[in-house]
A and B are shown apart, each in its own frame.
Chain A
Amino acid sequence: MTILNEKDIDKQILAAVKKKVGQALGDITSGKYPEEVKDRIVKRTRLGIGVDKDGNAYKFPALSDNYKEVRQGKARFFTINGKKIKIIKGDLVKKPRLHATTRPAKANNTATGQLLKSLTTVKLKIAGSVGWGIRIGDNRGRDLFGKSSKIGNKELAGYLAAAGRRFMGITKAQRNEISRDIRHMIIKFLKS
């Protein structure tokens, strides 16, 4: 829906608005706002809400019973010579170091907490404009059981997305919120 017919409005006021928008843009760029957007992605994910490629929010599918048992420290699952085995006692079965922001049965893309903690923001100079990127830091430390991780965070995010737990992106509602926040910043500038 068109919300502004530039032909019909006073050109001087429009020019003043555009100038102030430029000032507001500088404030957003130098401020902490992009970091806040990143934190909102982390919060949404920790609450178990994903985003599909069209920007629709959805609840993450539940964790498998096997993985819940692993996270509870009740069992470990291995494959040997093509055969899957479940180990329920012994040195291999121990309490995992689950991050404080999750629980054994909580599907929120969190085990050690390293993936969501690795997100950072970067300013992008786009031809004729400016933007902000959210990216994943690839390095991972120890896994749930203290061993070195075999995969990086980016690969892990890919696995999670394939399993229906896509989290990188901004939902339509989050986009509405960003738009509203920026509008408020611009209007504040206009009043100053």
Chain B
Amino acid sequence: MAQQKFTATVSKKYSEEERMAIGIEMIDAIIERTKAGKDKNNKSFKGAAGRYSKGYIASLDFKLAGKSKSPVNLTLSGEMLNALTVLDTTDGEITIGIPEDDDFNNKKAEGNITGSYGKPKGDSSKARDFMGMSKKGIKDITSKYPTKKNEINADLIKLLGASKAADTLADSFFDIEAFQEDS
């Protein structure tokens, strides 16, 4: 099972912080786009990929997740889309995807991207390729990050500052039952 990821090309003028901010915004956009039923090219999932099977709609999981019949949004528990992360950034490149050691979500993503859904072979008619972003989609985000460095980009600082604080707060949820008192 392969790691599911893609690399976006951006200007080499961007700093590491800017690439990280762009990557964070790309993930937000991918999740929003996919939940709206659109693929990596911003096109609606079509044919068999654009609808759920009757069996799936009638399933307990479908009800437990509170899903709607449409649009097809690749969201049941939310695990797969939320597993997306900025894996790496290098000069002019941002790599987004699912961490290599996350077998559970890489399998789910592979099933959707190839249309295999647990079967040995993929089926392009059922494929829902969400892993990527069109050039226009990337440009919509990078246009907020000018490459001319004559002034401070307040939006960049806000996003990275908020992201750093949010990361800290996200680690403040605990399973109390796992607490062990030091003696």
Contacts and interface: CB of A to CB of B under 8 A. Distances in A.
B partners with A:
yes
Interface of A: 1-5, 8-10, 13-14, 17-18, 21, 24-25, 28, 34, 37, 40, 43-44, 46-49, 56-59, 101-103, 106, 122, 124, 126, 129-136, 154, 157, 168-183, 185-187, 190
Contacts of A182: 165-166, 169-170
A43 B75 CA distance: 12
B141 interface: no
B146 interface: no
B172 A130 contact: yes
Given A129-B172, A168-B175, A21 B165 contact: yes
A186 B162 contact: yes
B177 A135 contact: yes
B157 to A, nearest CB: 5
Interface in B81-115: 82-86, 89, 99, 101-105
Interface of B: 16-17, 20-21, 24, 27-28, 60-61, 64-65, 76-80, 82-86, 89, 99, 101-105, 152, 154, 157-167, 169-178
B171 A175 contact: yes
Nearest to A58: B104
A187 B154 CA distance: 12
Nearest to B76: A47
Contacts of B169: 25, 28, 178-179, 182
A127 to B, nearest CB: 12
A154 B157 contact: no
Nearest to B104: A57
Contacts of A25: 169
Given A1-B20, A44-B77, A180-B166, A172 B99 contact: yes
B178 A131 contact: no
A9 B157 contact: yes
Given A49-B77, A58-B104, A130-B172, A154 B165 contact: no
A102 B8 CA distance: 42
A131 B162 CA distance: 18
Contact of B158 (A17, A130, A132, A178): A17
Contacts of A37: 173
Given A21-B161, A132-B172, A186 B166 contact: yes
20 contacts: A4-B164, A9-B157, A13-B157, A17-B161, A21-B162, A37-B173, A47-B65, A57-B105, A103-B60, A133-B175, A135-B176, A135-B177, A169-B178, A170-B175, A175-B171, A176-B170, A179-B163, A179-B169, A180-B82, A181-B166
A19 to B, nearest CB: 11
Contacts of B177: 135-136, 154, 157, 168
Nearest to A38: B173
In the complex, the 3 A-B pairs of residues with the closest C-beta atoms, listed nearest first: A17-B161, A182-B166, A183-B166
A17 B175 CA distance: 29
Given A157-B177, A173-B79, A3 B158 contact: no
A172 B83 contact: yes
Contact of B101 (A47, A56, A103, A157): A56
A136 to B, nearest CB: 6
Contacts of A1: 20, 86, 89
Nearest to A121: B173
A176 B85 contact: yes
